[in-house]
Amino acid sequence: MKESLLALCLLVFISGCSSKEHTTAITVEEKDGLINNKGEVLVKPIYKKVFHLDNLTSNDYAHPNYVNFHWIHISDEKFAIVKNIDNKYGIIDREGNLKLKVIFDSIGNFFNGFAKIEVNQKFGLINEDFEIVLKPIYDGLRDVIDNSVIVRNFNKNKRVQYGCLNANNMNMILPLDYDMIYLSSEDRMRTNKDGLWGFIDTKCNIISENKYQYADDFSNKIARVQKDNLWTHIDLDGKELNKKTFSNSDNF
């Protein structure tokens, strides 16, 4: 206890020389809280750990009683991730008010207005108002890109299946029956279903049905695809550019 208070006093003394406000996490009797460089306690030390959304480096743990702290920035407001004694995570504001209940196994980075949440190895999403917009019911999901969310679940045969949600309302646009939906290239995503390849856009619209033996990513708005062991090319709308097909072809 004395060591924790000594570290706190030392921190306040050093940081008091600066007019710029800084915030740090402090530990008292193995509980974390927050103070600023004026010595004001912003959050009482009641949490097992206070985290931030970015990865901490080894330099953040320079002292055993406190760590450097980074706020979650949403617009001009600041928030922080906390962990309780049950190793559950939540979000508080700088006054210590609870914005998101401390019930989650993990909370991810905000990206394009959403952050992943995890409960019992299932994933969902919250928005920047800390509302649960997608309940944690999926075995995995990707970051929101251009109003779409790629989700995955294991089916009854323990086979991974992918689908696509509209991020505006979280409605399922493409069902969970794809073997893979790949990362986007030029706003198009390759899909694989029953061994055949096709394309969707980043709004979950089908651009090309799964009918090709293989398909490459788009490059310069053109993708190389294979059917009947021959190659041809399609544009961003899925239209085949060549009536003739080729025994081999490179990407554009």
Domain membership flag for residue 156? yes
**Residue 98's pLDDT is what?**
87
Domain membership flag for residue 170? yes
Q: Which of 86, 104, 122 is the last residue of a domain?
A: 104
Domain membership flag for residue 175? yes
Q: How many degrees, rounded to 5, is the angle at CA 142 between CA 111 and CA 91? A: 45
**Residue 199's pLDDT is what?**
98
**Residue 248's pLDDT is what?**
62
Q: Do 193 and 244 lie in a common domain? A: yes
Specify the number of domains making up the chain. 2
**Residue 11's pLDDT is what?**
40
Q: What is the pLDDT of residues 194-234, one digit of tens each?
A: 999 999 999 999 999 999 999 999 999 999 999 988 898 99
Alpha-helical runs (H) found in 46-144: none
Print pLDDT tens along the chain (252 aa): 444 443 443 344 333 444 556 777 788 888 888 887 788 888 888 888 876 433 333 333 333 332 333 456 777 777 888 888 888 888 888 777 889 999 999 998 889 999 999 999 999 999 999 999 999 999 999 999 888 999 999 988 889 999 999 999 999 999 999 999 999 889 999 999 999 999 999 999 999 999 999 999 999 999 999 998 889 899 999 999 987 676 665 665
**Residue 126's pLDDT is what?**
97
How does DSSP assign 160-180, residue by residue?
A: EEEEEEETTT--EEEEEEESE
Q: Do 157 and 235 lie in a common domain? A: yes
**Residue 85's pLDDT is what?**
82
Q: Which residues contact 188 (CB under 8 A, 6 or more apart)?
A: 199, 200, 201, 202, 207, 217, 218, 223, 236
**Residue 246's pLDDT is what?**
62
* Helix, strand, coil percent content, the chain, rounded in steps of 5: 5, 55, 40
Q: Do 157 and 215 lie in a common domain? A: yes
Q: Which domain holds residue 88?
A: 1-104
Q: Do 153 and 98 lie in a common domain? A: no
Provide the pairing of β-strand 180-181 with 172-178: unpaired
Q: Do 153 and 209 lie in a common domain? A: yes
Q: Do 10 and 93 lie in a common domain? A: yes
Domain membership flag for residue 131? no
Q: Do 144 and 251 lie in a common domain? A: yes
Instruction: Report yes or no on whether pTM surpasses 0.95.
Output: no
**Residue 109's pLDDT is what?**
81
Domain membership flag for residue 85? yes
Q: Do 158 and 250 lie in a common domain? A: yes
**Residue 250's pLDDT is what?**
60
Domain membership flag for residue 117? no
Domain membership flag for residue 126? no
The DSSP bridge partners found for residue 154 are 160
Q: Do 144 and 67 lie in a common domain? A: no
CA–CA separation, 48 and 32 (whole Å): 6
Q: Do 183 and 81 lie in a common domain? A: no
Q: Do 92 and 149 lie in a common domain? A: no
CA–CA separation, 69 and 51 (whole Å): 7
Q: Which of 104, 127, 156 is the last residue of a domain?
A: 104
Identify each DSSP E strand in 105-159 by its residue range.
106-107, 114-119, 122-127, 132-138, 140-141, 148-154
**Residue 2's pLDDT is what?**
41
CA–CA separation, 156 and 140 (whole Å): 16
Domain membership flag for residue 24? yes
> Tokens 């009854």 sit at which residue?
156
**Residue 95's pLDDT is what?**
77
Domain CATH code at residue 231: 2.20.25
Q: Do 152 and 84 lie in a common domain? A: no
Q: Which of 54, 81, 104 is the last residue of a domain?
A: 104
